[in-house]
Amino acid sequence: MSNERPFCDGLHRRDVLRIGTAGLFGAGLSLSHLLPAQGATASGRVKDTGVSVIFVFLKGGLSTMDTFDMKPKAPAEFRGEFDPIATNVPNVQICEYLPRMAQNMDKLSLVRSFGHRNSDHGAADHYMLTGYMPGPGFNGGITPNNHRPAHGSVIAKLLGTTGNVPPYVCVPTMLNSGGPAYLGPSVSPMVIAADPNSPDFSVPDIAPPLSLAANRLDSRRELLKSVDRFQKAAEVEANTSARTVSVFRQKAFDLMTSGDAKRAFDIHAEPEKLRNEYGRNTLGQSCLMARRLVEAGVRCVTVEHSNWDTHDNNFSVLKKDLLPPLDAALPTLLSDLMDRGMYSKTLVVVTGEFGRTPRINKNAGRDHWGPSFTLLLAGGGVQGGRVIGASDARAERPADSPLGPEDMCATMYHLLGIDPNQEFLTPEGRPVKVVNNGKVMRGLL
C-alpha cells in the first residue's frame, strides 16, 4: 500500500525516496550533509550486551490519543471517534482498530508520560533520533547545522557489527537527522533506498554492475588504488571530500563481495506465508527486512514509514490506511523475534517525532503536538506488559513522571551496554556526551 498524502511541508513520500536513491549510502543527499568533519574519538567504557535495535519511526507523528492512550471520558472535541478495547494485559486498553496489537500487549510496554518541547517536523526528528534538542540556526536537518549523530551512528561507532554486514541500515529511506554528524563517514548508514514491498525489490549496492563479474572486483580495486588521483589527498587531513569518497567506495566493494550481505537483503527468500503475515505493504516488508538484517548482524535498523501527518481526516486515514498495516507488522515482528529466539536480544522502539493535538481541528484532523505522546518499547531487556506514567485527562501533558528523548536514548544505550554519559571528542577536541542528561527508564527493565 502506498500513501501519497503530502506532509504539511509539501513533500510527498515518493519525493523522499527519490532523494534517497541519488547515491550510495545516502551520499546523494550530499557528502557534506553526511559528514562535514573527521570522525570523533570516544572516551569511556562499553560492555556490549549483544542487543541490537529496530527503531520504527512513524514519520509525521502518530496520534497516540487515538491509539495507545485513549481518553474515552474526555469531551467530544478531544476524545475522537474511536473506542478502546481490552488487551491481554489487565486494565490496559488500546484502540479498537488495533485488535492484533491488543492480543500482544504482554510483549511490549508503553510510556504514556512521554513528550518534549518541540512540534516542528525537522527539529523534532533530530531530537528523537539523537537525544539532543537542536539549537539556534538549525534548518530542519537539511544541512548539518547544529547536528548531533543519530543513535544508529553512535551504535555503529561504539559496537560495530557482528557479521559481514553494515552496522547501521536505514530502510527504505534515511531521515535528514539520521546521519553521523561529526562521527564521520565510517558510521554513516547504508540506505536501502527502495521499497521492500516492490515485486522486483533489490539492493543495487550489493550487486556489481552487470558488465563486471564479482571475481574481478579485487583486481579492479587494486588498479583503482594505483591510479586514483585522490588517493594521496585522501591521506591528508585537509581533503575531507576525497576521504569521504574513499570510505563510500570501500563500503561498496565490501558489500559487493559479501555473501552474508546478499543473503541478508534477499527478502524474496522468506516464506510467502510469513511475508503475508507481516503485511504486503511498505511498513510490513520493512519490518521483515529489519528482522533479517538484525539476524545477520546489523546492530541498528531504522525503519522510516510515512505519512502519519494527519492534519485532515485523521480518523478516516488512521482507520483505512495507517492502522491496519501497523496492526499486522508490529505483532508479527514481535512474534517472529520470539520464535527465532531473538526477542531478548532485539530492542524494538516505535515512535513518531511527536504526537497530535488533543483537540480535534476544523478539518477532523489533529495537528503537531510535542508535549505529550506515547512511546512503545519491546524486547532487548524491556519487560512486556507494562505501562509507565500517564498523561492528564485530555492527553495534553504528562500527569506524572515526565520522560523525553534524552531518557529514551539513555535507555536504549544502557540496554546495549553503552554508558549514556560516555563522551566523544569532536574534531575540534570538544567533549560531547553520547546523550545529555538522560535517565534510564528503569521501570521498563
**What are the phi and psi torsion angles at 59 (to 5°)?**
-65, 130
Condensed to tens digits (0 to 9), the pLDDT of residues 131-152 reads 999 877 777 666 666 689 999 9
**What are the phi and psi torsion angles at 344 (to 5°)?**
-70, -15
Q: Which amino acid is at 167?
A: P
Between strands 346-351 and 52-58, the pairing is: parallel
Condensed to tens digits (0 to 9), the pLDDT of residues 300-350 reads 999 999 999 999 999 999 999 999 999 999 999 999 999 999 999 999 999
For residue 130, CA distances in Å to 125, 143, 177 come to 8, 15, 8
Q: Which amino acid is at 65?
A: M
User: What is the average pLDDT across 378-387?
Assistant: 97
d(CA 242, CA 226): 15
Position 235 confidence tier, pLDDT thresholds 50, 70, 90: very low
- Does domain 13-203+272-444 bear CATH number 3.40.720.10? yes
User: What is the average pLDDT across 11-38?
Assistant: 40
pLDDT at 247: 57
Reported pTM: 0.85
Instruction: Decide: helix, strand or coil at residue 22.
Output: coil
Helix, strand and coil in the chain, % to nearest 5: 40, 15, 45
User: What is the average pLDDT across 359-374?
Assistant: 98
Half-sphere exposure of 223 (CA within 13 A, CB side): 5
Angle at 49 between CA 345 and CA 176, to 5 degrees: 75
User: What is the average pLDDT across 155-179?
Assistant: 91
DSSP secondary structure letters along 146-207: T----HHHHHHHHH--SSSS-SEEEES---TT-S-GGG-GGGPPEE--S-TTSTT---GGGS
Element (H, E) at 350: strand 346-351
Nearest residue to 191 via CA among 22, 20, 14, 15 = 20
Position 410 confidence tier, pLDDT thresholds 50, 70, 90: very high
**What are the phi and psi torsion angles at 30 (to 5°)?**
100, 135
pLDDT at 32: 31
What are the boundaries of each domain within the chain?
A: 13-203+272-444, 206-264
Q: Is residue 172 reached through a cis peptide bond, with omega within 30 degrees of 0 on the bond before it?
A: yes
Find how far residue 315's CA is from the centre of its chain: 25
User: What are the grid coordinates assigned to 364, written together?
Assistant: 477532523
